[in-house]
C-alpha cells in the first residue's frame, strides 16, 4: 500500500515563530488532507489539497503531486496551534477511497 512519511516528528516553537511541516508519499494520490488533532482527539480538517496551493488565515498548504510531497506552513504560531498534525492520503480509482495517515508531527508552541 501507499506509504506516508511526515517530518519532523516533533517540533517545539516559541509563540510567533513560523514553521513548515512536510508530508512525503510513495504513490500517486487523488486525495490529500491535513488535519489538526486537538487534545480531545477531534480531527479538524485543515486542508483538502491533492494538488496546488491553498491558504486559510495563518495556515497555508502546498502539494506538488508530481514530486509526491505536501507542505503545511504555519505562520505566527500561537499556543492554540499546539497538537498533532496529520497528513492523510487517498489513492486508487475513486475519490471516495480510504485514507492512509502519516505518523504525525507533534507541535508544541510555548508562550
Under the rule (CB under 8 A), what is the footprint of another protein? 31, 33, 35, 40-43, 45, 48, 86, 88, 95-96, 98-104
Judge whether 107 and 13 are in contact, CB under 8 Å: yes
Q: Which residue, 41 or 111, is less far from another protein as judged by CB?
A: 41
As measured in angstroms, the least distance from the Cβ of 8 to another protein is 15
As measured in angstroms, the least distance from the Cβ of 69 to another protein is 18
Name 19's Cβ contacts closer than 8 Å, sequence gap at least 6.
11, 13, 73, 74, 77, 107
Q: Which of 65, 67, 56 is nearest to 90 (CA)?
A: 65
As measured in angstroms, the least distance from the Cβ of 76 to another protein is 25
Amino acid at each position: 500500500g501507499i506509504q506516508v512519511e511526515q517530518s519532523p516528528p516533533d517540533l517545539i516553537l516559541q509563540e510567533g515563530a513560523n514553521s513548515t511541516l512536510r508530508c512525503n508519499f510513495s504513490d500517486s494520490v487523488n486525495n490529500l488532507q491535513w488535519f489538526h488533532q486537538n487534545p480531545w482527539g477531534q480531527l479538524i480538517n485543515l486542508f483538502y489539497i491533492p494538488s496546488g496551493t491553498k491558504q486559510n488565515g495563518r495556515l497555508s498548504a502546498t502539494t506538488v503531486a508530481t514530486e509526491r510531497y505536501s507542505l503545511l506552513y504555519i505562520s505566527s504560531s500561537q499556543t492554540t496551534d499546539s497538537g498533532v498534525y496529520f497528513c492523510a492520503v487517498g489513492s486508487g480509482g475513486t475519490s471516495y477511497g480510504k485514507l492512509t495517515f502519516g505518523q504525525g508531527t507533534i507541535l508544541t508552541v510555548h508562550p
